[in-house]
Structures are given as structure tokens and as C-alpha cells.
Structure 1
Amino acid sequence: MTDPGKIKTCRTGSGSVQKLAAPILIALQYGLGALISFSIALLFSKNIIHITSGTAMIGSLWAMITFISVTQDCCSSTQDTAWLQVLGAFLGAVLSGIFLSIFPFSIAGMALLIGIVVLICQVLGIPGPARLAALTVGIVMVISAINPEIPPLVNAMTRFLEVLIGSTIAICIVWVWQYLPCNSGKTG
């Protein structure tokens, strides 16, 4: 049981134990979010989509990477980052799914499509999602090269859903974390 007096001193930041409380909670936040996002994506890939173990692990890693990159120090920043990630993943997944339905994987094709998706984001005036759109193109195309038996549109949809999983877990964890006694005081 936590001593209520320590919670108060934790908020003021006095004492070496109290100074460690916030960094420990942040580390736990990232560890827990990584565990949850990876596990949910793995269960989803293996049990719902029925993807092979190696590809399911890569997809789960993609969900965990998304969780880590989306997580910010307050709810509003996390939601803003999640929106950019989801929009970028959607654009990258749609374009790479269409591309791979027409053409086979090639390094030149992947590079060309990455350039095209970044150009589309820039021209549309939405440069924020460009990075994740480019990354999604890369991961969809590489997974299609590793496992050509996965239909391109299923691969693309699965990568998008993994980003959705990681982003959703980030929003939920940051929202819950704001109510912990030793948070940084940022509840945005």
C-alpha cells in the first residue's frame, strides 16, 4: 500500500525516492504499452487473419513501434500523433496494396512508391503523415516479398490495423496514466 504522504512529496519532487517515482512510472508505461500492443497484434494476426508466425511477429513489432512512437507526455499530444500515424498508415497501406496488386515487389518499385506517397502528402498539404505513409509502404512491400502467399490487400489492411492497435493502446495508456498519483501533472 502506498503511503499517501509519499504521493504528495512525489508531486513536489522532493527526495531521491520520490524523484525516481515519475521516471519509473514512465518506464512502466512504455513497458506495459509495448507488451499490450505487441500481444494484441500477435493474437489478431495469428488467430483472426491466420498469418504465419514470422510475419505475425513482424506485424506485432509494427504495432509496438507505433505505440512507442505515438506515446507522448499528455493525452492531446498523443491523440494528435496517433491521428497522423493512422492517416499515414492508411495512405501507405492503400497505395502499397494497390501497387502490389498490379506489380510484383521490387526495390525500385518500393523506392518509387515511397517517393510518390511522400509527394502526395506534400501536395495535399498534409506533410505530417508522410513519414509513416512511407514506412508503411516499406513494411507492406517487404512483407509481401517475404510472404508472397499473403494477398497484397490483406497484407496492407493488416499493417494498417496494427498501426491502429498501437495508436489505440497509446491513447488508452496515456489517458489512464494521467490519473496516477505521481504523474507529471500534464493531463492535456
Structure 2
Amino acid sequence: MTAELGWLAPVWTLFQQQPLAQGIGLAAMLVGVSAFLQRDDKRFRLRLCLYQAAIAFHFALMGASTAALSAGLSCGRTIASGRTRSPWVMLFFLVLVWVLGIPRITETVQWLPIIGTTIGTWGLFRAHGIALRLCMLVGGLCWTSHNILIGSIGGSLIETTFLFVNCHTMYRMWRHPLTSTP
């Protein structure tokens, strides 16, 4: 059957090695896509948090503890950033991810979720408009690289999708800027 799949054979092999983890990753991908389809900020943040919780579980099952921690903390950060832009709350989440994440790092690839989460946290609390999107883009590049390197099918697909959607949105924002800032 593997030969019949052609270029999808490596993906099928990864799925066969960890079917529960990869299945949860693919389900998380669907939740993440549904988040970006939301126009209401509250619904967006709720679904984004659900995505982050599901992808944290996926990473935990894959043995990627640093990524699981970063994604889990991102869920709390997403909710908090919708309620306050306080630099103290931002600093709390940054210190939390650094104190809990950095000591767990045993391989270079594990730095990518920490860096991506740090940049995304700063952006969610301190930036807006295209600057916020650029922060999310750089953070997303870190996460995409991490997910590809550890063999996360759902994680790689969703982050790649987020990168394309984010770039498209930044282009639209540049072409048709809003007259007022949030």
C-alpha cells in the first residue's frame, strides 16, 4: 500500500507510527482552521485556545514536552491577551514559558517553540495591525520548522496554513489600511 501512496508514503508511515498522536494533531488542525474562520474576536480566541490545548495534547503524546508546554501556556495567554494588554501580564506569561520551558531543552529543535511563543506573546500583548501579524508570522515560522523537524503531520499542516492565511491578511491590510487603529 505504501508504494501506491506515492509522495504521501512518508506521511502515512508517520501516521502509522503514532496513530493516536497524529489523529489528535489532525483534529487540532480542523479546530485551528475553524478559529481563523471566525470574525468575532471572542469566538476566535476561544477556538484558538481550544486548538492550542489540542495541539499541546498532540505534542505530549509525541514526546515533545517543550512544545506541549509552550502550546498549553499559549492557550492561557490567548485568553488573557483578549482581556488586557498589560505589560505585567505579558511578562508573567513570558517568564512562565522561559522558567518552565528552557530547563526542559535537551535538543536544539526544542528552542523553536520557546522562541515562537515568546514572539507571539509579545505581539498579542503589545502590537496591533500588520506589526501583530508580523510577530505571528515569525512565531509561526518557528513553530512550522519545529513541527516539520519532529514529524508532526497535523502541526505542520496547520502552521503552514496559518502562514499562508496570515500573509494573505497582511497583504490585504497593506492594500486597504483601516482609517483608525484599535
TM-score of the superposed pair, with normalisation by structure 2: 0.31
Higher relative contact order (CA 8 A, sep 6+): 1
Which structure carries more helix by proportion? 2
TM-score (ref. length: structure 1): 0.30
Question: Which of 1 and 2 has greater Rg?
Answer: 1
